[in-house]
Amino acid sequence: MTILKKLLAVSAVFAVCSTSVLAEGTSKFVPISKGVKSIEMDLNGEKFTLMRNQKAGNIISDLYNTTDRGAPQPMVISEGIETVGELEFIEYMKKAQTDKSIVIIDSRKPGWFAKLRIPGAVNVPFTNFNEKATAIEMMEDEMGVVDNDGKLDFSNAKTIVLYCNGYWCGQTPAMVKRAKYSLLSMGYPAEKIKYYRGGMQAWTSLGFTVVGSGK
């Protein structure tokens, strides 16, 4: 192939790619799902509009734009626990507005929660599950568990949807399975635990609504 033909071939490929990008860029909005731009929510007394950032060229938060993190967490924490993606997570958020048997939980330390979080989430730091008393207190206060003189009643335990910093973050897995008084070790029903593995890194990479200083 001559140099001229090679240049023409490269130009043709570039033209196709450029046309594709322009076609995507002409979309009326950046969608949550097909045809859905935003969702009005009122969760845990917090009213907000859930949507993706509509600004062209929006950049992910500095808190989550690096890749030199820990090893990725397993897709499945334990048998019976469902791992969810963004759309499933949002469905749980929608249901939790009126269904008090569902709660969205941020398992990170308070400092991270203050910096940036998903609106409507309740902060239950994983560190509370290093001690039995605080583990029980958290389960009673936020998860519908009843302590009957040391015997835990999980019959009205809530469906808890947990997230932390991202694919590499071990804070949710610690609360669920690895902490000394983890949810599973204390008897929490696995089928009522949902794990949003992508966490804040995935959430911010898609430009979803967040709350906090970002610093």
> Residue type at 104?
I
Q: Which of 150, 136, 142 is nearest to 183 (CA)?
A: 136
Q: Quickly tell me which residue has 């009673």 as its tokens.
A: 140
Instruction: Yes or no: say if 111 and 160 are a contact pair by the CB < 8 Å rule.
Output: no
Residues 54-70: tens digit of each pLDDT: 999 999 999 999 999 99
Residues 81-106: tens digit of each pLDDT: 999 999 999 999 999 999 999 999 99
Average pLDDT of the chain to the nearest whole number: 89
Q: Which of 164, 162, 166 is nearest to 69 (CA)?
A: 166
| Residues 109, 14 share a domain | no
Residue 136 belongs to some domain of the structure = yes
Pairing of strands 159-163, 38-43: unpaired
What Rg value do the Cα atoms of the chain yield, rounded? 21
Report the distance separating Cα 76 and Cα 89, nearest Å. Answer: 16
Instruction: Yes or no: say if 181 and 130 are a contact pair by the CB < 8 Å rule.
Output: yes
Residues 136-176: tens digit of each pLDDT: 999 999 999 999 998 999 999 999 999 999 999 999 999 99
Would you state the pLDDT for residue 27? Answer: 58
| Residues 57, 158 share a domain | yes
| Residues 181, 104 share a domain | yes
Counted domains in the chain = 2
Q: Which domain holds residue 5?
A: 1-29
pTM of the model: 0.86
Residue 215 belongs to some domain of the structure = no
| Residues 191, 108 share a domain | yes
176: domain CATH number? 3.40.250.10
What DSSP assignment string belongs to 110-152? HHHHHHSB-TT-EE--GGGGGSHHHHHHHHHHHH--EEETTEE
Give, in order, the Cα–Cα distances in Å from 209 to each of 33, 40, 51, 90, 117: 15, 11, 6, 11, 9
Instruction: Yes or no: say if 177 and 187 are a contact pair by the CB < 8 Å rule.
Output: no
